[in-house]
Amino acid sequence: MTTARRDDLHPDVETMLAALESDFPELDPSRSAGDDHAERLTAEGDPVVAHRFEGLCHGFLTFPQPSLTGPDRDELWKLIRRRLEVTV
């Protein structure tokens, strides 16, 4: 695995990392709405799997340097694969 040096990062990623280090709220504006939706579905008896990727913003799969989010990408694909498995 390759680890990016801080000074090699795209300026947008650098800005995001600076925000993460400043104890600001999570950077996903739809996080609260997603949490609320999962809670409503659960309350209605629907099966729900909710997973929060701490410290990442919405769209992290589009980061220009995948090495910054590798483990989280792997976890997301595992969640998707599990959900798509067909039980016969």
Which two tokens mark 11? 């300026």
CA 46-48-54 angle, to 5 degrees, is 155
Domain residue extents for the chain: 10-84
- Binned at pLDDT 50, 70 and 90, residue 11 comes out as low
CB atoms within 10 A of CB 40: 11
**Contact, 71 vs 54, CB < 8 A?**
no
Q: Greatest CA span in the chain, whole angstroms?
A: 51
pLDDT at 6 over 60: no
For the chain, give the mean pLDDT: 72
pLDDT score at 43: 93
Which two tokens mark 86? 């067909």
Tens digit of each residue's pLDDT (9 = 90 or more) over 43-68: 999 888 888 877 777 777 887 777 77
